[in-house]
Amino acid sequence: MFKINFAARKYELFVLNTPSDLFHDEHDTDESVSDDFYILHRFVVDKGQDLLRIDKFLMDRIENVTRVKIQEGIDSSKVLVNDKTTKSSYKVKPGDEIVVIAFEPPRDLEIIPENIPLEIVYEDDHLAIINKKPGMVAHPGYGNYSGTLVNALAWHFQKGAPEGSIRPWLVHRIDKDTSGLMIVAKTEMAMNKLAIQFKEHTISRIYNAIVWGTFKEEEGTITGNIARSERDRKIFKVYDNPETGKHAVTHFRVLQNLTYVSLIECKLETGRTHQIRVHLKHIGHTLFNDTHYGGNKILKGVVFSKYKQFVENCFNKLPRQALHAKTLGFIHPATNEAMFFESELPSDFKTVLEKWQKLNVTYDLTSE
């Protein structure tokens, strides 16, 4: 059985087993990273503590970790002092609260199987294709101890199989509020081979999105390094400095210009965290109702109250970012067969899209 006692781990939630995992970054994921983080260590500096560099302070208190690893973690915003990022040269002061965090759950986290309905598009002995519904978190973590995709998969995989013989391996993830297709490996061999395809950018992934604003061009490519925001560690941004962040490329094609929003498709060449959301905001076309990146405000349109009511109604109908992982193509890890899957737009996305499509016919928004 996949099992963990979450109740016993409320504040100091996860402690990784090996020093090499202390500041480890998982491989990049499609639009994936939980909005929460995982607390590994917490220290409150004693009143009598002399001024001491934070990297030295942590090395003296965390077993089997090098100063270089600690410095890498600090540079990656994984060490916070009084809830703010810091530098290795910072000297700790009495009363400082120092927290070491991770943005990914530990790899060896065990899972409690839960009987949660899943839309399984395809399944064989090696992998499964899931059409994830919006609102479902991919992996258990801080604030989301149950009800996740992995909990549901653990339940599904244990049916008809020896207990604990199959575990869900998430090859990639998508955000809680993004819907659509995901690959889940059922064996370590499948996981490794699929991970190589992601690393080599041979997986085909196309998303549909509703974004603010209309386009003059029919298609384009967005290139820009992505890294965590220095001001808000929960979001990412594009950096002009080639030494900052990770290289990211998103191709887009306009499907419909709809007065003040557009329906587009995005093809990922790379798979960085929040890549589509960050790249589209960077070019002035924030995802519709993306709360993290400012798309939950009226960014385009007129000032009349009827228009405001129309948009607010759309926000209520689609209470998340308008992003759906529509297609997925890859080479099967066991058979070497080319696989391709396509999913329908979910009802909330489709409803709002239809409302924008009918906007000019149904509504007179230019009068009070």
Q: For the segment 197-224, what is each residue's pLDDT rounded down to a tens digit?
A: 988 889 999 999 999 999 999 999 999 9
Please state which architecture CATH assigns to domain 120-362. 2-Layer Sandwich (3.30)
pTM summary value:
0.72
Catalytic residue numbers, as ranges: 175
pLDDT of residue 3: 36
Greatest CA span in the chain, whole angstroms? Answer: 72
Using CB atoms within 10 A of its CB, is residue 79 exposed (0-12), middle (13-18) or buried (19+)? buried
Using CB atoms within 10 A of its CB, is residue 59 exposed (0-12), middle (13-18) or buried (19+)? middle
- Tokens read off for 220: 């384009």
DSSP letters along 308-357, please?
A: HHHHHHHHHHS-S--EEEEEEEEE-TTT--EEEEE-PPPHHHHHHHHHHH
Domain residue ranges of the chain, discontinuous segments joined by +: 6-102, 120-362
- For residue 365, which amino acid is it? L
State whether CATH 3.40.1010.10 applies to domain 6-102: no
pLDDT of residue 328: 96
User: Which residue numbers in the chain have pLDDT < 70?
Assistant: 1-38, 103-110, 141-145, 160-166, 360-368
pLDDT of residue 33: 34
Q: Please write the tens of the pLDDT for every residue from 87-103.
A: 999 999 999 999 988 75
pLDDT of residue 106: 53
